[in-house]
Chains A and B, each alone.
Chain A
């Protein structure tokens, strides 16, 4: 039904991942089998997409150094650096 846009690489947790122009960060990560996007600060539980439309803020990742960006609402671009969020980096309980 659709053909994806131009392919390029993005960096996810230090690994190169193939993404396509027009995709969201969530789509690029899910297409590559990466569904865990962060760990929570209290229970240290894994989280992923929940609402998928920018309402719930569960899919938060760090994008080009800016923390807590919604993976479902952020567009990929060539060379984007995405970090899934771990508790320790954000001062949560270990």
Chain B
């Protein structure tokens, strides 16, 4: 009943796919597991097999890059087995994974594991953020990119960083009307850091191209502004924005209201650490990497021997970083398995490391410019929901902390925040910020909460088959 493999790679995005390719090159047999019906992850997301691509060129670079990487894997089809539609929900004993594959239970014993589960949009609560029509940048992007469906007609985009510009570009191409793109950061800092940014002219060029698209469509780009509220009876009808200072604190009496039917939130990404926490890997707090991230060495190996991480799951770095980190993880997993000796692995890794160092200096400038400032955590009101699943509001959480809960796990036990369907993926980062503010702690002093199997809900019935 239990299957086994040399290498299990969890996540079929850029990091996971490049790990699989590199490991296969060294002779390793692997299984790539991904919850989605197709490989690619978020950034390389491909349209469904049933859709027909009529114009390859208009699909964009990420589609093309993803398609190429996925096709490269077919070269190793004897070595790489792909389990799409497979949700990894449990980890037991020593490297035994439990997955739900197309509705059935699969147990998989792996000699080595690469966790490449990516990231997701950083949740920033404010009054009205649970209304239908308010969703993340990643959501709007996934819907327009792979499903060719617009999630609304009149959009307001609010957040920080280059990703929301990319989303604006895609929405405009898809025919949406954008009433404004609201950027919390001030762009002044950008000019000072231009020398570093110029080292990656391609990425800088993308940014300017996106801004030019906004200009062309007469979409106002409002820097140093944040969204402070959304309202509507059953769905979102109005968005309220306000000017913010450099700490992202709202400046009083600067509110402006927009009629919208869609609000798209993009405050950067947070690493998806469900599985690294579940496997018992140690974690560090690094705001430039998106928060709590698994500790790892130069080989991308975590503190649990034989478990590797790569890509946004070990710190938000974007697709280029993910591709290179995936290669390292693949190489050193192959080394642990005896397919490569250490000297060969190190030799293969050297040029990859050089590339990574270059990319990371660019990435840290972006993170520094656009990372979330603390003022924005003052937006939720007493009755604003923090835990969307269990419907736990700010006041509930504050009361639990006031009565002695000092850790997210305590807060969870007292309030149920983080106990629902999403298992704290959405409220987790916010609850840490609330506790830090209330207890006068610094980010990193407490957290992260414990992860438990199942990290995503599965029906009990699969256990009794």
- Chain A residues close to B by CB (< 8 Å): 1-6, 20-24, 26-27, 30-31, 35-37, 40-43, 45-58, 60, 66, 68, 72-73, 75
**Nearest chain-B residue to A37 (Cβ)?**
B132
Report yes or no: A24 in contact with B457, Cβ–Cβ below 8 A.
Answer: no
Query: Once bound together, how far apart are the Cα atoms of A50 and B391, in whole Å?
Result: 15
Interface code B282-305, partner A: CB below 8 Å = 1, 0 otherwise? Answer: 000000000000000000000000
Closest 8 CB pairs of A and B: A52-B139, A22-B48, A5-B50, A22-B50, A48-B132, A57-B421, A21-B50, A27-B147
**Nearest chain-B residue to A1 (Cβ)?**
B58
Total A-B pairs, Cβ < 8 A:
139
**Could you tell me the distance in whole angstroms from the C-beta of A70 to the nearest C-beta in chain B?**
9
**Could you tell me the distance in whole angstroms from the C-beta of A66 to the nearest C-beta in chain B?**
8
Instruction: Tell me if B319 is interfacial: C-beta within 8 Å of chain A.
Output: no
Report yes or no: B422 in contact with A56, Cβ–Cβ below 8 A.
Answer: yes
Report yes or no: A22 in contact with B138, Cβ–Cβ below 8 A.
Answer: no
**Nearest chain-A residue to B137 (Cβ)?**
A52
Report yes or no: A36 in contact with B235, Cβ–Cβ below 8 A.
Answer: yes
A55 partner residues in chain B, CB cutoff 8 A:
120, 272, 422, 425-426
10 A–B contact pairs at CB < 8 A? Answer: A6-B50, A23-B48, A31-B149, A35-B235, A50-B388, A51-B135, A51-B139, A51-B426, A52-B151, A68-B457
Instruction: Tell me if B343 is interfacial: C-beta within 8 Å of chain A.
Output: no
**Could you tell me the distance in whole angstroms from the C-beta of B282 to the nearest C-beta in chain A?**
23
Report yes or no: A36 in contact with B50, Cβ–Cβ below 8 A.
Answer: no
Instruction: Tell me if B224 is interfacial: C-beta within 8 Å of chain A.
Output: no
A47 partner residues in chain B, CB cutoff 8 A:
130, 132, 388
A72 partner residues in chain B, CB cutoff 8 A:
139, 142
From known contacts A1-B58, A21-B50, A60-B421, infer whether A27 and B149 are also in contact, taking CB-CB under 8 Å.
yes
B143 partner residues in chain A, CB cutoff 8 A:
26-27, 30, 49, 52
Instruction: Tell me if B51 is interfacial: C-beta within 8 Å of chain A.
Output: yes
Report yes or no: B120 in contact with A51, Cβ–Cβ below 8 A.
Answer: yes
**Nearest chain-B residue to A5 (Cβ)?**
B50
Within 8 A of A (CB), among B408-430: 420-422, 425-426
**Could you tell me the distance in whole angstroms from the C-beta of B455 to the nearest C-beta in chain A?**
11
Residue from B37, B234, B420 within 8 A of A57 (CB atoms): B420
Which among A26, A47, A55 has the greatest number of chain B C-beta atoms within 10 A? A55
Report yes or no: A57 in contact with B422, Cβ–Cβ below 8 A.
Answer: yes
Query: Once bound together, how far apart are the Cα atoms of A42 and B383, in whole Å?
Result: 13
Which among B36, B132, B272 has the greatest number of chain A C-beta atoms within 10 A? B132
Query: Once bound together, how far apart are the Cα atoms of A73 and B52, in whole Å?
Result: 20
**Nearest chain-A residue to B390 (Cβ)?**
A42
Report yes or no: B136 in contact with A50, Cβ–Cβ below 8 A.
Answer: yes
Query: Once bound together, how far apart are the Cα atoms of A52 and B451, in whole Å?
Result: 22
**Nearest chain-A residue to B262 (Cβ)?**
A35
B142 partner residues in chain A, CB cutoff 8 A:
52-53, 72
Report yes or no: A49 in contact with B53, Cβ–Cβ below 8 A.
Answer: no
Instruction: Tell me if B133 is interfacial: C-beta within 8 Å of chain A.
Output: yes
Residue from A45, A48, A53, A68 within 8 A of B138 (CB atoms): A53
Instruction: Tell me if B216 is interfacial: C-beta within 8 Å of chain A.
Output: no
From known contacts A3-B52, A30-B151, A48-B133, infer whether A53 and B425 are also in contact, taking CB-CB under 8 Å.
no
Report yes or no: B134 in contact with A50, Cβ–Cβ below 8 A.
Answer: yes
B52 partner residues in chain A, CB cutoff 8 A:
2-3, 5
**Could you tell me the distance in whole angstroms from the C-beta of B195 to the nearest C-beta in chain A?**
35
Query: Once bound together, how far apart are the Cα atoms of A23 and B49, in whole Å?
Result: 10
